[in-house]
Structure 1
């Protein structure tokens, strides 16, 4: 699912938050448990890992990604 760019999920300042059990790839270093949604999991990743996860639709090992 594509979202509009801008501050939204990074702050969980509107209804755009992770649901319990959902996971997200984030490049933001301003994070703490529960920030993007109660009981969601945020994985802090490098920019290339974020690109790979967005393209593939899941986490991949970027060392083997082409």
Structure 2
């Protein structure tokens, strides 16, 4: 799921068509707000689930009992979303550089 950080961020992303890209890729495009940030609603991790979060806080159980939150940069979150698992964005960048040099 993708939860924009504010109403302004949501409007800007939608103006650029980013919401459609995320939805077409299988993500849920949510309203801005706390959502999984505090696991105070249905948006929470289950036991054993992992989350790549660009939030600024992390402690045990914050996003759901037994879940694991990994604080990452926006670039790392994007890379994990594309790959479907955690990846080292530095290695992706190195691969891109190598492909550019080969072309």
| TM-score category of the 2 structures, normalised to the smaller one | 0.7 to 0.9
Deviation >3 Å, runs of 4+? none
Q: Does 1:44 align with 2:71?
A: yes
Number of residue equivalences = 66
List runs of 5+ in structure 2 lacking aligned partners.
Answer: 1-25, 97-103
Compute the TM-score of the two structures, normalised by the length of structure 2: 0.59
Higher strand share: 1
Higher relative contact order (CA 8 A, sep 6+): 1
Q: When the two structures are superposed, what TM-score results if normalisation uses the length of structure 1? A: 0.87
More helix by share: 2
2:27 aligns with 2
Once superposed, what is the RMSD of the aligned Cα atoms? 1.4
SS at match of 2:44: coil
